[in-house]
Amino acid sequence: MKNLDVSDDAYLRLKGLKRRGESFSDVIMRIGSNTFSRSSLIRRFSFVLWGYCLAVWLYVIAYQMRYRNGIYDTLAWWLPVRMDYIGEVAFALSFVFALIIAARPATGR
């Protein structure tokens, strides 16, 4: 057991981070072990990709509602990929990434 001198501001911050039944040593250990596991990184990355795929899928739906025959338009004049292909791939990938998120255990932070 060691004694530490901390400023009043630092003490108030530590006290604010302290959970019920947790000592100040536990708070310091929890903050100090703030590294991400591989599972946590995969989960976070999958969550971002899931959100992106869902946004693309919703964009394609909105595009189709605005331009009735526009779903068969190409993404750009230089990229001959149809909008419906983009929507289908984004729709499928949103489910894949959602399954990855659900399969990975949530790590506390």
Residue-wise pLDDT for 55-71, tens only, equals: 988 888 888 888 877 66
Range of the domain at 13: 1-34
Alpha-carbon span 43 to 17, nearest angstrom? 25
Alpha-carbon span 64 to 70, nearest angstrom? 6
Is the confidence at residue 109, as pLDDT, over 60?
no
More confident residue, 106 or 31: 31
Global confidence as pTM = 0.53
The answer to whether 99 touches 34, Cβ cutoff 8 Å, is no
How many domains are there within the chain? 2
Let me know if residue 87 belongs to a domain: yes
Radius of gyration of the chain (CA): 23
User: pLDDT (tens digit, 9 = 90+) per residue, 7-21?
Assistant: 898 889 888 988 889
Q: What is the pLDDT of residue 34?
A: 61
79 and 95 part of one domain: yes
Neighbours of 24 (CB within 10 A): 14
Let me know if residue 109 belongs to a domain: no
Residue 5 is classified by DSSP as: -
